Structure formats: structure tokens, C-alpha cells
Structure 1
Amino acid sequence: MFGRIVKYLLLLLVVVAIGVWFAEHPGKLAIEWQGLIVEMPIGLALLTALIVIAICALAYRIWVFVRKSPQTFVHFRHERRNHKGYEALTKGMVAVAAGETAEARKHAKKAHDLLDDPSLTMLLSAQAAQLDGDEEAAGEFFDEMSKTKGLEFLGLRGLMNQATARGDKEEALKLAKMAYKLKPKTEWLAQSLFELQIQRGDWAEAESILSTSIKHKLVESKDGARQKAALMVERASQAEREGQNDQAIKLLGQALKQDKELVPAALAQARLLGKANKRRKAVSLIEETWRKTPHPALYDLYQEMQGEPDALKRVNLAERLASQNRKHVESRIIIARAALEGQLWGEARDELKVLLVEAPSARVFAMMAELVETENGDLTGAREWLRKATEAAANPAWVCQECGHVSVDWSSVCSKCEGFDTQIWQTPQQAETTPPALDQGQVVEVEAVEAELVINKSTAAQ
């Protein structure tokens, strides 16, 4: 504000100075043209010149306005149409969100008629058609969008959703691949493509997508490593079916590098190593895996690899494997199993007594039933233990974390909900119950075991 005042004051001073100068230096201006002589004071001449310039400037502006008025009118009309078109577009989107089919259709048509760029209204038109249940019309809009520059991704997404809704997984997979090429960093798209490839059994392609997702940080590295291991197990299974056992062994080794605790990978590799006459390496792998994650299937394969027919020697093998992780429940169970087979009642009883205190379960009660029947011929006692087994927590199994489905055998894909990498070896939740009550004699026996364990721990601590 202050600057403007100073500017006007300076301009006024300049005008006054010029006026004073002409007042102090009077003179005349004479113009002769075609015998006509015109004389006037210099001040009047300057004023006349200024008036002429002002008239010319005004005439020029009028000429420019007249010349551009048609274009200006067209521009104004275009802007007004655009304003109404965008207003209709906004109202149409609101109608779609509110589920008002007729309103959505009406505003979509109005926006399409008013806006010169149909790409702005295609999505609204497609959504309005879907809201009205006209999937065919919506598909036409989505198809047109997939061929329009800048809207390809939106069109492909719409077509992919339609294919998924009608159960056409092959078409959905094809469209997902096309969309993925446009936007590989889109999390929902990468996950959708990954799931479609899993459902189709394209394990190698699914692994490639997973690697890219890990690189773009769409999947956490720890989860990604576990999922890659599961995919490699599936690829190995496929390679084995095709007779490529060496390739299968290699893939299973890579799987174990990704997830050292993936028991199914260790089992499959050990079995294939045994077929390739590499029994020592297979046995070593089972023992190494037992140190980290004991599993009953590892013990079964371990005994199978050894091929030992003598029951007493099988007990020694069980103890050797159990020594890799001696205090684990599974280690005590395999010793008890082997001892029962070898009729070493005392050793079996020692292990089962500890298990009754630390980890009572259906299989522990079942082995107690076998022990009292085979050692003493006590059928009544055996039936009582079997009754308790039916009431106890179920044996561990592969349990899907998504739907709770229980399976004896591991699979990367749940057979019920088709969830990928959802199975964990655990006691099924629906079968977890309070261990059944023991009778008086059994209570005394268990209390004695507990006391003995306390003494042993104290002695070990000293």
C-alpha cells in the first residue's frame, strides 16, 4: 500500500515538473499540409496527441473484442458444459455409492453427453450398469477402458473382477497378468495374481511373483521366505512326478535354506536321498531336523531308512534319534513306542509316567493302555486308559490357521478353504480339552513320578 502511494506521488511530481517546464518555455507547433497551416501552443499539441492515442487504443480494443467474441462465446459455453458435466459426474458417483440405480444411470448419461472426454464417464457408466445388474453392458465399458490410454488398468481390473465373480479363473489369471505388467507394485493385484497361480498349480510363476513382491516390500521377508519354501516343496513334488529326482532334491535343499523348520521338506528330501542310495546323508538330515523340530513322521522314516528288523535294536535307534532333542515330548514318545515294541516295559513306563505329568494326550493314554494290557494282561485297566484317551486332547496334526481344518498330511494349500501356507503342526483347538481325571491309584503313581522329577532336577542343579 505504501509503495503504491509513493509510486503515484512520483508520477504526479513528474507530470507537474513537465507542466512547469513547458510553462517556463512557451512555444508553438506549426503544421503545414496541402496549403493548410495549423498553429497551436506546444501544450495543446501534446494534449491533442494524447487524446488521439487514447482514441486509437480504444478503437483497437473494440476491434479485438469484436474479432474474438465468437471464440470467447464458444469458450464460455464449453466451460459451462464442463461445469455441468463434472457436476453430473459427481452426483453419479454419489448415487453409485448410495446404491441409487436410476439416479446413477441418469447422471452417467448426462455426464457422457456434456463432457467431451468420454474416458471420464466410462467408469461411472460401468459402475451404474453393474449396480443395475447389467454385467454385459458393464463389461463393454470395461473393455473400452482397457483399450483407452490412461484407463487400461481400471478397465482390466473391472474385467478381472467380473471374471472372478463368474468363476472363470483362467480369464481372471490372463487379465491379472496384463494388469500386473502395468502396475507390479500394487499389493492387492500381486496377491490376487499369486493366489490365482497357486490355485492353477503354477508354482514356478507364483514363486516369481512372490520374489518380486518381497523385493517391492509388499510381503515381509520372513513370511516370504516361508512361503517360498512351501512353493519349492510343491515344485519338487512336481519334478519328482516327472522323474526329475535330482532336481527335486535340489529344490528341497533350497526350501530348507529358506525355512529350516519345514518338516515336510526335510521328509521329502530324506526320502529321495534314500531312493538315490544316499542313506547316510538321509539319516543325517533327519537327525539334524529332529534337533530343531521333532515330528513323528521323521521317526517313522528314520526307522524305515535303517531297515532294522530287531525290536531291541530299534529301541537303540529311537534313543539315538531322541538324543538330538532329549527333553522334547516327541523324543519321549518315540522311545516309549520303541520300548513297547521291544517289550521293555520298564523303559516304556518311565517315559510314559513323565508324559502323563508333562504332556497328557490321547496317544499317551493309548500307549498306557497297551502297556498295562501287554505287561500284565489287565484288560480292565487297558479299557479305562482307552476311555481316558477318547476324552483327552487329540493327537497333534496339521491344522489350517484360516478355517481350522485338520489334516494328517501336510499340503501347501488347505483342501477346505484353499488358503496357502496356512497349516501348522499343533493340537487341534476343537479337540483341546481338560485331561481326564485319573483314579486314586493312578493319582498316587503320578504324584510319585512328580516327586521323583523334582528330586532329579534338584540333583542336576547341584
Structure 2
Amino acid sequence: MIRIIAFLAVVVLLGAGFSWLADRPGELFIIWQGQRVEMTLMVAAVLVVGLIAIVMFGWWIVRSIWTSPQSISRYFRARKRDRGYQALSTGLIAVGSGDAPLARKMLDRTKGLLRAETEPLVLLLDAQACLIEGRTDEARQKFERMAEDPETRELGLRGLYLEAIRLGAHEAARHYAEKAVEKAPHLPWAAEATLEYRVQAGRFDDAIRLLETQRVLNGMDRKQHDRKKAVLLTGRGLSKFETDPKGAREDAVQALKLDPTLIPAATLAAKAYLRENNLRKAQNVLEAAYKLNPQMELATAYAHAGGGTSLERLRRTEKLEAMRPDAYETLYTVAAAALDARDFIKARAKAEMAARIDPRESIYLLMADIEEAQTGDQGRVRYWLALALRAERDPEWVADGQVSAHWLPISPITGRLDAFEWKKAYAPVAGRLEDGTTATAADAFGALPDVSAPAEDAEEAEIPTPVATVAVVEPVTAPAKPATVTPVEAAVEPVPFFGRPPDDPGVKKQTAETPSNGFKLF
């Protein structure tokens, strides 16, 4: 565009100059060697311009002839370079596709057309070809050669790092990552690997400094940076909780400011506050985290914060119910606290509500505990235990398929930072229906009645009568006197199984008042 504008400007200037001369006619006389040459001023100007053009054209011809050998050499050199880059490109594609013979063929052709000193990609192709051919020692030597060259240092270090990871040489991988960060701190792969290695070694301060450097150099996303820093602060707080509770509390509080949904930071801050006998702040931290993300660890920590009697724990769990009444964790915690307080009616009601929301293994185990404590009916206890075997497992801390009882800042399998997730790790052991779906509470119990209804309505619920498969001869006997049941016993009798009888009713105790309806053949 600039050239076009310059050309148009020159043309305009020439036209303006000739127009100016045309408007001002004149005569030009030249006397040379006794000869007088007479011409107009316009003709003289045209002759001057033409002479300049002829000189420039002649100079171009002479210059082209003079530089023709170099031009010809440059042409063939450029053609050779183009062929070399074509072979290099084909070789890299062959390496990516795993075609070792073609990669080696293109490497030999590239070496004949390009020099490794001027094109570093030739060394890369050579090293990659050795890798896919299984010659790892030669490949490592070539990567080391690349690491010594300032132009290909980062490329060689990455190759050495990946090869060390493949061989399981984690110490060597850590060395190469640290060296790459030292030479080029802006490299994301080197910074990420070094960050994980420093966390594994417990060097949280160095890891946090490296994370801040990455944010400045690479422009890391603010949300991603805050999450990683919160994880690092929580890990540092956990590492020094026993020796420095105050420092652990400060790290946990700072982590919660960066990411309020980080559950381990909330539990760590609450434990640190309890160490300082600051129950109110501990409860505030747990309440704020529980409102955002109801989780079993938070509910359990809140229920047991400050100790106290079972009735005090029940009252604390009722505060959680006021905050998140529809959460499974809330109902389960209230039911467990009610069981400890021997309030069986509330424990059973809350447990049934939790089973409607999410029929997990833990709620059925809790129902078995309630049945054991309230009625002692072993048949009903076995029924709940059988349902627990068929139900889904509760969420756990899982990282790379590994289940852990506690949260950790890195994965114990791969060393990945912030790898733990709170999720269900396993499917139910049994309870698969014929169509492949998982059995639910409605499949196990039928339609569940409203637990808010009084116990009398539950007792009057219709219980289906099983259809007999064997003909039974009714003996002719005198009608037996009905057993007398006191009002107290009728009120205490619970109504389990949501209106349905258990599959295993257990062993009934025979009493003297039980009538005998048997008959004798003889």
C-alpha cells in the first residue's frame, strides 16, 4: 500500500512539473564545440528524463549480468532448502503416525539437504525417529545434545523429561523440570511439573512462589490461580497443623477467601479455631461452607464441634437442618444425632426422609442401627443390612481411581495437584434390575408414605397379603381368645419398612398367651 501511494505521488509530481513548464515556455541554447543547439525548455526536460531512464536501465542490465552467478546459486540453494523442509515435514508426520521406516528415510534425505547446525528440527526428527525405533539410549543422547544448545535447550529438556517419566525415573524428571524452570520460567509444562514435585517434597513456600511467577509471566486465569493457591495454602496448613495451629488457621482462612468451596480448608480452619477454644468462629466457618456445599465432613465436624452431650449435638444438627433442610447430609446427621440421644421417633423419621432423597449405603446401615436400638428385631436388622449391600456407596475422596480417607493436595498415584474429588467411587455390589438399572428405595419398599403423618396412620396402612402357593387344610378348632395388648405397648410398637413387612421377619418369641392353632392327625 505504501509503495502504491509513493508511486502515485511521483507520477503526480512529474505531471505537475511538466504542466508548470508548459505554462512557462522558453528557449534553451547550448553552444558546444562551435555548434549552437537550440530547443524549447519542454524538449530539454523530456530529454533529461529520458537520459536518466536510459542510464538506470543500462545499470540494471550490467548489474544483473554481474550478479547472475550468485543469483543462480541462490536459486538452486533455495530449491534444495525447500526440498529439505519438505522431507523434514514428511518425516515429522511419519514420526507422529509411528511410521519408523518412512521417518528414517526422510531423516536421511533431510540430512543430505539441510544441516543440523542451521536447522534444529533435524535433531528433533533424529531423536524422535530413534524413539519410535526403540533406541532410547541414542534418543537420550540426542536430547542431551539439544539441551546443551541455547537455541534448543527447552526442546531437549522436555524430551529428556518425557523420557524420564516414561521410564519411571521421577528423580531425573524432577531434575529436568527444575532446570527448565530455572532457564525458562514461562514454560507451562515445566512449571506444572516443578509445582507438583515441590508439593510432594513438602516445599509449599517454593511452590507458592513459583505459582505467583507463573501468573505474572503466563497471564494465568485468575480463577485457576486462586484455586491452585488455595489448595497449596490448605496443604501447607495441614502439614503444620500439629506444630503451628495458628499458622495453619491463617493459611486455611486465606484459602477460603480465594475459594470458599474448598471443603478441606473449612474443616482445617474449624479445627484450628477449636484448638484456640474459639467455638463461635469454628461454627461460623463450617456454617458458611455448608451453605455453599453441604458435605458429610462439614456436617460431622459441625455436629461434634465443641463436644457436649448427645442432646447438645442433636440441637447443633438441627441448626444445619434450618440452613439446608433438603440435603441428604443434613437429614443423615440429624438422624444419627437423634439415635445417639435415644430419640428413636425423630431418628427414624429423618432417616426415612434421607432415604427418599438418596438411598445410599450409609442410610440403610443407620436404619439397621435404629432398628437394633429400638426394637432389637434381628430379622428387620438383616433386612436393612441386605438393602445396604444393594445400595450405592457414599461419596468419598477419590483421585485417579484411588480412594482416600482424607483429602490431600496432590494425587498419591500421579502427583497431580488438586486431583481429589468428593464423589461416589463404586457402584452398588448388587441390586441390578433386569433392564440394567440400579434398584432404588421405591423398588425396595414400594410407595413411601409421608413420614410427617402420625404413627396411628402408619399402623393402619394396608399391608399386602402374600398369595399362598400350597393348599392348607384349616383345622376345626375353637376360636382362640385374642391376645391382650396394653396401650403402652401399642404406642411403642414402631412401623418400619414404610408400611411393608420385612422379607425376613426373624424369630418370633413364643409366649404363654399365644394361642395354638395347630391340629393333630391322630
State the Cα RMSD in Å.
4.4
Question: What does residue 353 of structure 1 align with?
Answer: 352
Write out aligned runs for 1:201-216 (5 A).
201-215=202-216
Distance 2:126 2:85 in 1: 10
The match for 2:225 is 224
Determine if contact 1:164/1:172 at 8 Å carries over to the other structure: yes
Which of these residues, 418, 434, 441, is aligned with residue 439 of structure 2? 434
Comparing both structures, which one devotes a greater share of its residues to helix?
Answer: 1
Question: What is the one-letter code of the residue matched to 1:110?
Answer: G
Instruction: Report the equivalent of 2:278.
Output: 278
Describe how 1:229-378 pairs up with structure 2 within 5 A. 229-240=230-241, 243-308=243-308, 310-378=309-377
Please give the per-residue CA displacement for 1:80-128, whole angstroms capped at 9, x wherever unaligned. Answer: 3564255234314413422324313422431356x87364643344334
1:405 & 1:182 partners in 2: Cα distance? Answer: 35
Q: SS at the partner of 2:422?
A: strand
CA contact (8 A) 1:322 1:334 kept: no
State the TM-score, normalizing by the size of structure 2.
0.64
Distance 2:179 2:350 in 1: 60
Aligned residues: 407
Match of 1:94 among 85, 90, 94: 90
What is the one-letter code of the residue matched to 2:245?
N
> Where does structure 2 lack aligned partners over 5 or more consecutive residues?
1-10, 19-28, 38-54, 429-436, 455-522
Partner of 2:112, secondary structure, is: helix
Q: What's the offset of the Cα at 1:258?
A: 1.3
Is 1:105–1:129's contact at 8 Å kept on the other side of the alignment? Answer: no
1:53 is aligned to none
Q: Deviations over 1:190-231 (max 9, x none)?
A: 444444444554433333343444456665433332222111
Contact 1:190 1:213 in 2 (8 A): yes
Q: Which residue of 2 aligns with 1:176?
A: 177
**Structure 2 CA distance for partners of 1:229 and 1:79, relative to 1, 3 Å:** same
The residue that corresponds to 2:154 in the other structure is 153
Aligned to 2:80: 84
In 2, the alpha carbon distance for the partners of 1:375 and 1:345 equals: 7
Q: Which stretch shows the higher mean deviation, 360-369 or 249-258?
A: 360-369
C-alpha distance after superposition, 1:122-174 (max 9, x if no partner): 33443344444444443444334334343333333333333333333333334
SS in 2 for 1:142: helix
Partners of 1:119 and 1:417 in 2: CA distance: 32
Aligned-pair CA distance for 1:262: 1.7
| Counterpart residue identity of residue 84, structure 2 | A
In structure 2, which of residues 412, 426, 450 is the aligned counterpart of residue 415 of structure 1? 412
Q: Supply the AA of the counterpart residue of 1:360.
A: P
Q: Which residue of 2 aligns with 1:142?
A: 143
Q: CA deviation at 1:378?
A: 1.7
Alpha-carbon distance change, 281 to 188 in structure 1, aligned in 2, over 3 angstroms? same
Q: d(CA) in 2 for partners of 1:178 and 1:332?
A: 53
Q: What's the counterpart of residue 163 of structure 1?
A: 164
Query: CA 1:435–1:216 in structure 2 vs 1: closer, same or farther (change >3 Å)?
Result: farther
The structural deviation recorded for 1:42 is 8.9
Specify the SS of the correspondent of 1:430. coil
Pick closer, same or farther for the CA change 1:365–1:165 going to 2, 3 Å.
closer
Distance, in Å, in 2 between the alignment partners of 1:430 and 1:218 is 41
Q: C-alpha deviations, 1:11-42, integer Å up to 9, x for none?
A: xxxxxxxxxx99xx9x976xxxxxxxxxxx89
* Identity between Structure 1 and Structure 2 (%): 25
SS at match of 2:427: helix
Q: 1:276 to 1:136 in 2, by over 3 A?
A: same
Q: Say whether the 8 Å CA contact 1:398–1:410 is kept in structure 2.
A: yes
Classify 1:130/1:354 alpha carbon distance in 2 versus 1 (closer, same or farther; 3 Å). closer
Instruction: Tell me, yes or no, if the aligned pair for 1:391 and 1:435 is still in contact at 8 Å.
Output: no
